[in-house]
Amino acid sequence: MLPVSSPDTTPATAPGDTRRVPVLEAAGIEKTYRRGIWPARHHQLVLRGVELTLYPGEVVGLVGENGSGKSTLMKILVGALAPDAGTVIHNGRLGYCPQEPVVYERLTCDEHFELFGRAYRLTPEDQARSRRELYAELGFERYAGTRADQLSGGTLAKLNLGLALLADPEVLLLDEPYAGFDWDTYLKFWQLVATRRDAGRTVLIISHFVADEERFDCLVQLRDGRAVPR
């Protein structure tokens, strides 16, 4: 998955204006999947008018039953999937960690960071510094020279997350990022999220763990195709 970035689309806040400016606004998002061919064509309405606004410095949990449309919504937010209706406006760079790691089997971790660093237009120095920090934060430096097809599931998940974080995006969208993490890495993950939040970054996380709920500033639930606060 190539990184998603865009120029700022929201006007800057005027000096002295203390109103919170959203970093991402989704309005009226609708999505129906269409499968099969006539006469066995099947339509599945998944999203029926989702409204979602994210502000700087908040960590938001996106929850809902299996199949409620969380991954679909996240793909639409990052521009990986086109909605049938609705708009997404974001102010700053997005980092996306998909549920299934999308990596190049024959490239090492270092080579992935170099490739993504170029796609993000980072200088080689910034890319190397950010990579070093991510190896340390997530604890996988010893796999720097290992090819992706030889990594364990958990280390692959670290690489997947690291690539989303490489350019220090204003908005980080994570689709069940810690499913394969051991306990120590799980705690490191939440430390990393806290550091980003303190720096004013926004993090949207799809989560299934009730135990995580207290870690979020707010929870948004997808129910019957709409986003409702919880």
Ligand X SMILES: Nc1ncnc2c1ncn2[C@@H]1O[C@H](COP(=O)(O)OP(=O)(O)OP(=O)(O)O)[C@@H](O)[C@H]1O
Element (H, E) at 117: helix 109-119
**Nearer residue to ligand X within complex by CB, 170 or 176:** 176
CB of 77 to ligand X, least distance (A): 12
CB of 153 to ligand X, least distance (A): 17
- How many residues sit in the footprint of ligand X (CB under 6 A)? 12
CA–CA gap between residue 128 and residue 72 (Å, rounded)? 33
In the DSSP assignment, the letter for residue 147 is: B
Say whether residue 70 binds ligand X (CB under 6 A).
Answer: yes
Contact predicate 158/185, CB 8 Å = yes
Say whether residue 123 binds ligand X (CB under 6 A).
Answer: no
Token pair belonging to 223: 């129910």
Nearest to 178 by CA among 197, 167, 164: 164
Residue whose tokens read 């690291």: 162
Token pair belonging to 80: 């990986």
Each residue 169-208 as x (binds ligand X by CB under 6 A) or -, in order, gives ----------------------------------------
Each residue 7-46 as x (binds ligand X by CB under 6 A) or -, in order, gives --------------------------x-x--------x-x
Residue whose tokens read 């280390």: 155
**Nearer residue to ligand X within complex by CB, 33 or 209:** 33
CA–CA gap between residue 21 and residue 92 (Å, rounded)? 12
**The one among 50, 72, 165, 169 contacting ligand X by CB under 6 A:** 72
**The one among 50, 52, 68, 173 contacting ligand X by CB under 6 A:** 68
Burial of 229 (0-12, 13-18, 19+ CB in 10 A): exposed
Query: Which region among 48-56, 64-72, 89-97, 110-118 touches ligand X (by CB under 6 A)?
Result: 64-72
Contacts to ligand X by CB under 6 A? 33, 35, 44, 46, 64, 66-72
